[in-house]
Amino acid sequence: MPLRDLDLAIVDVETTGAASHYHRIIEIAVLKVKKGRLVETFSTLVDPERTISPFVEGLTGITNKELENAPTFSQVKDRIYELLDGSVFVAHNARFDYNFVREEFERAKTNYTAKHLCTVRLSRALFPEYRRHSLDSLMERFDIRCANRHRATGDALVLWKFLQILQDRFSGPDLKKALAGMLKAPALPPHIDEALVKSLPSSPGVYIFLDRDGDPLYVGKSINLRTRVLSHFSSDHDSVKEQSLYRQVADIRTIKTSGELGALLLESHLLKQLSPLHNRRTRVSKRFVVMKRDKRGNEYETIRLERLGTLTASDLPDIVGIFKSMKQAKDFLWRVAGEHALCPRILGLEKGKGTCTYTQVQRCNGACKGMKPPPDYNSRFLTAFAGRGVTPWPFPGPVLIEEQEDTGRAGERFVVDKWCLISWFRFDETGTTRRMFQGDYTFDYDGYKILVDYLIKSRKKAHLHVLTQEELACLQENF
């Protein structure tokens, strides 16, 4: 199976963030390769229908203004599908790009699956003597030039040049063996029969992989449950975790929702409730670290870090940051201290007497020894942490968000206030409504990120109604 015998689609995407379940593509490039020749190049900016962060703007050079005038993924999906269809999906860290592309197709109500070839894994297999296999490492190792690094077309062209190098250097059995191992045909797990997979719905919702004792192994969400579940079995299980999950899964349960918002919120809830074995810890953490403003002897502004399991809406105004771990919070504080000439000792990052580490390298002006008056220091402190806290609730009161199914006669309604999910109702074609969830004003950080993305960052118009207290009381009483 030489490379020249394969039809390839070399893909690179730039995105709003790292998590494909709620971030979006902002640029995509596809290089079509047939019989070892590059026959077509396609690239386009993609409107993610939300704003992108200054970090992403700085990394890629892509601006929010450019994206507002770009087509949405739905508007270019047919062209992209035409280029990908029937080809091996090739990318560097292919799972990342493949998951983003597949998820975008799902949102556009299009099924897409393909064999995918990861050039990171291919490099590791063919060059085991090297420790690093990042795109920058490959460019340096093989003297590959890239005019537009961190742009989709530029990075995709680097992969095309890398594949050409492999074809020249490995014409014998080594390359064939590596490719055959990575592109072998998928198979269902040993304890899952085909009838179960065929019965899976093609609707939005959440799926749960269970072991033979009925214990949860993995929770995920999708706009198309059947397609997403099958995608778990279409790879060659290249990690120990994937191999373990493949061997253990004995049953699959699904919970249908009306749309993506419901699927995201339900997945977040079930991850915390079930603590499935194979989900990433960062997505099921029940505790977090909050960063609050404090005063040192009523003079210098500082920070207090607290480990918490729950927050209420009333706690939010004092918070300037929420983190998954103490290390993450302290790393952030060190970075802010360096950028704004703040004192690590006052911030609680260093203990002891004398001047702090940053004073010795002239990055702190001696506030730890009282050499700088509190008003000047506090002014820099306030600038450093301005806008770092929880986004203020943008409505005068609670809101009712409605998400309808394609028929328009059934759907779900969510009551949200101060970023807290208060109630969740489902209604059917007959008008019957039942309560799915009843919460309180406990703040859930993962739910907060989902709702900020949906209500503020998204440029899609949400179907919502601001509730009066009387309307809220009526909902709670009747349902």
Note the pLDDT tens digit of each residue in 146-198. 888 889 999 999 999 999 998 888 766 778 888 877 787 667 888 898 899 88
CA 210, distance to chain mean position in Å, is 24
Instruction: Work out the average pLDDT over 265-285.
Output: 78
The yes-or-no verdict on residue 285 having pLDDT over 60 is no
Residue 402: what pLDDT? Answer: 92
143 and 15 in a common domain: yes
Residue 440: what pLDDT? Answer: 80
> For the CA atoms of the chain, what is the radius of gyration?
25
H-helix or E-strand containing 405?
none
Residue 108 and residue 105: Cα distance in Å, rounded?
5
358 and 274 in a common domain: no
45 and 159 in a common domain: yes
Q: What CATH number should be reported for the domain holding residue 63? A: 3.30.420.10
In a domain, 189, yes or no: no
Active site members: 150
314 and 280 in a common domain: no
The two three-digit tokens of residue 347, written as one number: 């911030």
Angle between helices 326-340 and 374-385 (to 10 degrees): 120
406 and 260 in a common domain: no
148 and 32 in a common domain: yes
Residue 8 and residue 112: Cα distance in Å, rounded?
15
Residue 464 phi/psi, 5-degree rounding, is -140, 160
Residue 247 and residue 188: Cα distance in Å, rounded?
10
Strands 442-443 and 205-210: unpaired
In a domain, 394, yes or no: no
In a domain, 121, yes or no: yes
The yes-or-no verdict on residue 255 having pLDDT over 80 is yes
The amino acid occupying position 175 is: L
Q: Which of 385, 411, 426 is the last residue of a domain?
A: 385
Of the two residues 178 and 418, the one the predictor is more confident about is: 418
The pLDDT confidence band at residue 369, using thresholds 50, 70 and 90, is: confident
Q: What whole-number percentage of the chain has pLDDT above 90? A: 38
The pLDDT tens digits for 421-449 are 999 999 888 878 888 888 888 888 888 98
- Indicate the pTM of the whole model: 0.71
Most confident of 46-50, 105-109, 446-450: 46-50
107 and 242 in a common domain: no
In a domain, 463, yes or no: yes
In a domain, 204, yes or no: yes
In a domain, 390, yes or no: no
318 and 262 in a common domain: no
Q: What whole-number percentage of the chain has pLDDT above 70? A: 94
368 and 452 in a common domain: no
DSSP 316: G
The yes-or-no verdict on residue 284 having pLDDT over 60 is no
End-to-end CA, the chain: 61
Residue 171: what pLDDT? Answer: 66
* Minimum mean pLDDT range among 61-70, 117-126, 168-177, 231-240: 231-240
Domain count within the chain: 4
Residues 6+ apart with CB under 8 A from 362: none
The two three-digit tokens of residue 215, written as one number: 């214990």
Residue 275 and residue 283: Cα distance in Å, rounded?
10
The amino acid occupying position 124 is: R
The yes-or-no verdict on residue 240 having pLDDT over 80 is no
440 and 310 in a common domain: no
Q: Which of 259, 284, 309 is the last residue of a domain?
A: 284
Strands 88-91 and 116-118: parallel
Residue 253: what pLDDT? Answer: 96
Residue 179 and residue 168: Cα distance in Å, rounded?
15
The yes-or-no verdict on residue 279 having pLDDT over 90 is no
Residue 283 and residue 271: Cα distance in Å, rounded?
7
Of the two residues 128 and 311, the one the predictor is more confident about is: 128
Residue 282: what pLDDT? Answer: 44
215 and 154 in a common domain: no
Domain holding 170, by residue range, is: 3-182
Q: Which of 335, 355, 385 is the last residue of a domain?
A: 385
In a domain, 188, yes or no: no
Residue 220 and residue 209: Cα distance in Å, rounded?
9
Mean pLDDT value across the chain: 86
Instruction: Work out the average pLDDT over 309-327.
Output: 83
- Other C-beta atoms closer than 10 Å to the C-beta of 213 total 6
In a domain, 392, yes or no: no
59 and 158 in a common domain: yes
